[in-house]
Every structure is written in structure tokens, then in C-alpha cells.
Amino acid sequence: MSRRPYKSHVIIRKMTVSDIPQIVELQKKSFPIMAAEGVYWKPEQLKSHLQIFPEGQFVAEYNGKIVGSCSSLIVSLEQEYKDHSWMEICGDSHMKNHNPRGDTLYGADVSAHPDFRRLGIATKLYDARKNLAIKLNLKRIIAGGRLINYCEHAKELTPEEYVKKVKRHEIREPVLSFQLRNGFKFIKILPNYMKDPSSLNYATFIEWKNPHFVEK
């Protein structure tokens, strides 16, 4: 009889260089459609993330296996809710736009192994980011969320209409629904956010405000 996996057995810790080979394979498993087009973290990019902002890079480990990861950077937008693409805000895949003096933690990526998604991996990674934002006294966390089922509804609905139906629980959208459950607020649609056939390149601008933020 196989043992049932337990959420408590998932450990969240900072990423290390030795994790990189597993993270690359995790990316391919987590995003097969995008990976087929070459869109996933490469080893040299992950090494750059660790060099630029080691505190913002986390992995989820279960029984010695990397089953989740997330990459983050600190930014400061010229306008609070300015439109942007993933590449514009991150600088590039090496996260050259990281600004230690910024006021916002940007969620560049979250991945969870499809065979382990009932372990609460993404929630634990999101909590790690929230704790980091609180520790660093950052104003908020923002991210661009993929609309992974939008391609199935694009002929009938605009992205904005699609989001409204998701919020009313009329359409199943696992990513946005998860983000809303985790305290993020939908701000607006970001067009041409990143190359992604599932979302037709659209993303949601989402925000979590740090309730412990102290203005300096």
C-alpha cells in the first residue's frame, strides 16, 4: 500500500545552485506547451537569479525531490499600475531589472510539478513570497498571471469578460482562482505579456498589499 502524501512534508527553502538541474526539468514538466517552444528557465538564467537576488528564489522540496520553485525580483514601477510585458519588467530572463531600492516584489514565475499539485506547493511558495515582502518592508507583491484556459473562450469573450466570469465561478480558471483565494486582487488585463498559446499572450495584473508595510 502506497503512503498518502502529506502537505506538511513539503519544505520551502531558498534555492541553491545544486537545485538548478532539477528546476530545469521541473519547468519542462510544469509548462509543457511553453517548454515545447523553448520558454523555460535555462541553467545560466537561474544562476543569474541567485547572483542578483538570492533571497527571492525559493524551491519546494518533497522527500528530497524538487517539486516546485519560484523566482522573484524587486522592482519599482514609474506608474503604479503601468502596462508592461514580462520582459519589460524583468529586464530579461536574467532579471537585470532587479532594483534593491524598489518598493515592490515581482513574481516572475511559479512552477509546481503536475504529479504533486495536491500538496499545496503553490500556496506555500506564495506564503514564502509574502513573508519575504514583510521582512524587507516592501509595499506589495505584483505579478502577471497566465489565463491558461482563455484560448477555449476567446471567440466568445474578451479577456476582461473572461475574468469576470472566472470571478463569478462561471468558468474554471485554476491559476486566477488560486491567486484570488490567496489574497491577490485583479487589477487589469495585460496584453502581449508573454508568448503563451494557452492565454493568447494575455495576463492578469494581480496585486497583494503588505498589511505590515511601514512608509519610510
Contacts of 99 (CB under 8 A, 6+ apart): 73, 74, 75, 76
Q: What are the extents of the domains in the chain?
A: 9-138
Q: Please give the grid coordinates belonging to residue 31.
A: 509548462
**Residue carrying C-alpha cell 530545469:** 24
What pLDDT score was predicted for residue 79?
86
CA dist 75 and 52 (Å) reads: 13
What pLDDT, in 10s, does the model give residues 11-33? 999 999 999 999 999 999 988 87
CA dist 159 and 114 (Å) reads: 26
CATH number of 9-138: 3.40.630.30
What pLDDT, in 10s, does the model give residues 95-110? 999 999 999 999 999 9
What pLDDT score was predicted for residue 1?
38
State phi, psi for 73 to the nearest 5 degrees.
-150, 165
Tell me: pLDDT of 197 over 60.
Answer: yes
Asked if 106 and 208 touch (Cβ cutoff 8 Å), the reply is: no
State phi, psi for 196 to the nearest 5 degrees.
-155, 105
The least confident of 52-61, 73-82, 151-160 is 73-82
- Return the amino acid letter for 121: I
| Residue % of the chain over a pLDDT of 70 | 96
- Return the amino acid letter for 216: K
CA dist 157 and 189 (Å) reads: 13
Neighbours of 117 (CB within 10 A): 14
- How many helices and strands in the chain, by DSSP H and E? 7, 7
What pLDDT score was predicted for residue 31?
86
Radius of gyration of the chain (CA): 17
> Can you give the pTM of this predicted structure?
0.92
